[in-house]
């Protein structure tokens, strides 16, 4: 019965991933995931001694209470940090299980007359190393996304030496079953997780979040072999593979490779520079924007992290509804790496009940900016920066952008004229057809609605 429940749970998880790939079916995908986890937990309860179930139920009650508290407290803008935090906990769980198996192999049925089985040593070593990297790497990503820690330069040679040491210790541990080697391996992996993520810039964080997601899956899958749990192996592989695919999609959206994202962060040349030279720009007020929007026949709204930080999604939905009543065509353009994690903007727009059919990806809508009357940009700084096409020395050069500069008028909502998350100036601010609307995006949009 346990194996049957595991099979049902695995099918539910696969269906969850399949349905989560579309906004229209994502709610059903979440339900599939919930049912899959319920079946998985039921299988565990059925496979253990009744006298031990209270330990597990107590742990579930504590963890579940913390989860409910976090779910109620965390705002939609802090979802990337929450995701990074969850990845970190998965990595920590893998490390703790690997340590338990190393110090008490008999309890895991992974030891014979000649010591721990070689296959189990490989699983433990890899599970602990990947888990430790995921734990500290995700924690650093959490701090960066929270805005409490900024990138710092770490020479690539340092990370290369640490990585080589980890591989050497892993081989030594597998060959000798040395507990000190296992401990040092884990400690170095904890350090490597931090030093790997510390130098990576803000513009690359969506890639890093999906990459760490993949790491957490492989760590869980490796530990699944140690625990001899088929469902954990399958689930970890699903998370690892989907995270890897998502990382590829994010890199493609930035026109970069994953090694380029990781390894060029360790060079001083990758540090972004912004121009200190003061340039003239056109600044407008809510009344000016209202007049322009009222006379527009087509408007494309481009949300970015500015929308998330100001919670402007509901005001944007209201503005879109007013424009539609005036006969204006309204669409939303989403860049693959807009925000701080993959799908960040889609989640916020869905929260505001923006119709799915009005939301378009970069490839679907980019050609329409040339025939658009107004591009209404809300804090989408780096993903609209023409420097990605015009400046070979720019850190974002070669990244596909939303070509909002081709619109007849660009209304750019931003708190100030400061740089974006990549730390570089946006050429779009100083174009003749751009009007800067400086201030809080939500308040500015509400003022525009009032003026209209």
Quote the pLDDT of residue 291: 95
> Which two structure tokens, joined as six digits, stand for 361?
């990806």
From 260, 358, 373, 382, the catalytic residue: 382
In a domain, 1, yes or no: yes
In a domain, 276, yes or no: no
Q: Are 396 and 207 in contact (CB under 8 A)?
A: no
In a domain, 126, yes or no: yes
DSSP state of 386: T
CA distance 65 to 72: 11
Quote the pLDDT of residue 268: 46
Of 214, 243, 269, the position where a domain reaches its end is: 269
Instruction: Provide the domain count of the chain.
Output: 3
Domain that holds residue 254: 79-269
Indicate if 152 and 217 belong to the same structural domain.
yes
Quote the pLDDT of residue 426: 87
Please report, to the nearest 10 degrees, the dihedral formed by the alpha carbons of residues 366, 370, 372, 377 taken in order.
60
In a domain, 342, yes or no: yes
Q: Return the number of other C-beta atoms located less than 10 Å from residue 93's C-beta.
A: 18
Indicate if 36 and 180 belong to the same structural domain.
no
**Closest among 24, 108, 125 to 358, alpha carbons compared:** 24
Indicate if 254 and 184 belong to the same structural domain.
yes
Indicate if 55 and 109 belong to the same structural domain.
no
Indicate if 315 and 417 belong to the same structural domain.
yes
Using a 10 angstrom Cβ sphere, with 0-12 exposed, 13-18 middle and 19 or more buried, the burial of residue 311 is middle
Indicate if 117 and 260 belong to the same structural domain.
yes
In a domain, 394, yes or no: yes
Q: Are 345 and 306 in contact (CB under 8 A)?
A: no
Of 35, 57, 73, the position where a domain reaches its end is: 73
Indicate if 329 and 366 belong to the same structural domain.
yes
Indicate if 260 and 315 belong to the same structural domain.
no
> Which two structure tokens, joined as six digits, stand for 404?
């909002």
Q: What is the CATH number of the domain that holds 358?
A: 3.40.50.1220
Quote the pLDDT of residue 369: 94
Q: Are 257 and 335 in contact (CB under 8 A)?
A: no
Quote the pLDDT of residue 202: 65
Quote the pLDDT of residue 84: 87
Indicate if 84 and 45 belong to the same structural domain.
no
CA distance 123 to 371: 56
Indicate if 186 and 224 belong to the same structural domain.
yes
Quote the pLDDT of residue 269: 42
Indicate if 239 and 330 belong to the same structural domain.
no
What string of pLDDT tens digits covers the 452 residues of the chain? 888 999 999 999 999 999 988 777 888 999 999 999 999 989 988 888 888 888 888 999 999 999 899 888 887 777 788 888 888 999 999 999 999 999 998 888 888 777 888 888 998 999 999 999 999 999 998 888 887 877 778 888 898 999 999 999 999 999 999 999 999 999 999 999 999 988 887 667 778 888 888 998 998 898 888 888 888 999 999 999 988 998 888 787 777 777 877 776 544 444 444 444 567 889 999 999 999 999 999 999 999 888 988 889 999 999 999 999 999 999 999 998 887 777 888 888 988 999 988 999 888 999 999 999 999 999 888 889 898 888 887 777 788 889 999 999 999 999 888 776 666 788 899 999 999 999 999 999 999 999 99
Beta strand spans in 39-198 (E): 111-112, 115-116
Of 73, 89, 120, the position where a domain reaches its end is: 73
Using a 10 angstrom Cβ sphere, with 0-12 exposed, 13-18 middle and 19 or more buried, the burial of residue 43 is buried
In a domain, 42, yes or no: yes
Indicate if 238 and 366 belong to the same structural domain.
no
Q: Are 111 and 105 in contact (CB under 8 A)?
A: yes
Q: Is 382 among the catalytic positions?
A: yes
Q: Are 54 and 40 in contact (CB under 8 A)?
A: no
In a domain, 302, yes or no: yes
In a domain, 275, yes or no: no
């Amino acid at each position: 019965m346990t194996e049957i429940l595991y099979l049902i749970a695995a099918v539910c998880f696969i269906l969850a991933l399949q349905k989560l790939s579309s906004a229209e079916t994502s709610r059903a995908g979440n339900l599939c995931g919930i049912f899959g986890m319920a079946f998985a937990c039921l299988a565990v309860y059925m496979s253990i001694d009744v006298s031990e179930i209270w330990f597990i139920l107590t742990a579930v009650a504590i963890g579940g209470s913390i989860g409910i508290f976090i779910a109620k407290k965390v705002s939609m803008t802090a979802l990337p940090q929450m995701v990074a935090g969850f990845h970190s906990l998965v990595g920590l769980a893998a490390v703790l299980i690997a340590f338990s198996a190393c110090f008490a192999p008999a309890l895991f049925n992974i030891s014979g007359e000649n010591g721990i089985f070689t296959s189990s040593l490989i699983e433990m070593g890899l599970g602990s190393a990947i888990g430790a990297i995921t734990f500290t790497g995700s924690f650093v990503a959490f701090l960066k996304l929270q805005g409490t820690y900024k990138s710092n330069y770490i020479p690539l040679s340092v990370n290369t030496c640490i990585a080589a040491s980890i591989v050497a210790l892993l081989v030594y541990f597998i060959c000798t079953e040395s507990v000190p080697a296992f401990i040092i391996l884990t400690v170095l992996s904890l350090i490597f997780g931090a030093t790997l993520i510390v130098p990576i810039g803000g513009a690359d964080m969506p890639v890093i979040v999906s990459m760490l997601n993949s790491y957490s899956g492989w760590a869980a899958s490796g530990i699944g072999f140690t625990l001899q749990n088929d469902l954990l192996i399958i689930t970890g592989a699903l998370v690892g593979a989907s995270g890897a695919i998502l990382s590829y999609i994010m890199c493609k959206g930035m026109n970069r490779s994953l090694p380029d994202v990781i390894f060029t962060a360790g060079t001083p040349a990758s540090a972004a520079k912004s121009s200190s030279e003061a340039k003239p720009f056109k600044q407008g007020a809510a009344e000016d924007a209202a007049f322009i929007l009222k006379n527009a026949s087509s408007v494309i709204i481009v949300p970015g992290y500015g929308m998330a930080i100001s919670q402007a999604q509901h005001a944007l939905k209201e503005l879109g509804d007013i424009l539609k009543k005036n006969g204006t065509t309204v669409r939303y353009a989403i860049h693959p790496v807009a925000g701080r994690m993959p799908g960040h903007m889609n989640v916020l727009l869905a929260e505001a009940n923006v119709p799915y059919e009005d939301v378009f990806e970069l490839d679907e809508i980019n050609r329409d900016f040339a025939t658009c009357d107004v591009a209404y940009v809300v804090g989408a700084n780096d993903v609209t920066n023409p420097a990605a096409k015009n400046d070979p020395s720019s850190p974002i050069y070669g990244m596909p952008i939303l070509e909002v500069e081709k619109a007849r008028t660009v209304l750019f909502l931003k708190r100030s004229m400061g740089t974006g998350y990549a730390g570089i100036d946006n050429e779009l601010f100083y174009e003749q057809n751009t009007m800067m609307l400086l201030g809080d995006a939500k308040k500015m949009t509400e003022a525009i609605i009032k003026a209209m």
